[in-house]
A and B are shown apart, each in its own frame.
Chain A
Amino acid sequence: DTGVSQDPRHKITKRGQNVTFRCDPISEHNRLYWYRQTLGQGPEFLTYFQNEAQLEKSRLLSDRFSAERPKGSFSTLEIQRTEQGDSAMYLCASSLVGGDSQNYGYTFGSGTRLTVV
Chain B
Amino acid sequence: RKEVEQDPGPFNVPEGATVAFNCTYSNSASQSFFWYRQDCRKEPKLLMSVYSSGNEDGRFTAQLNRASQYISLLIRDSKLSDSATYLCVVNPYSSASKIIFGSGTRLSIRP
Contact = CB atoms under 8 A, between A and B. Distances in A.
Category for how many chain B residues contact A: 20 to 34
Interface of B: 4, 6, 8, 32, 41-46, 87, 91, 94-104
Q: Is the interface of B mostly helix, strand, loop or mixed?
A: loop
The 7 closest A-B pairs by CB, nearest first: A42-B101, A108-B43, A101-B96, A42-B103, A103-B95, A43-B101, A97-B96
The secondary structure that dominates the A interface is strand
B43 A110 contact: yes
Given A42-B102, A56-B98, A103 B8 contact: no
A101 B97 CA distance: 9
Nearest to A109: B43
Contacts of B8: 40
B25 to A, nearest CB: 13
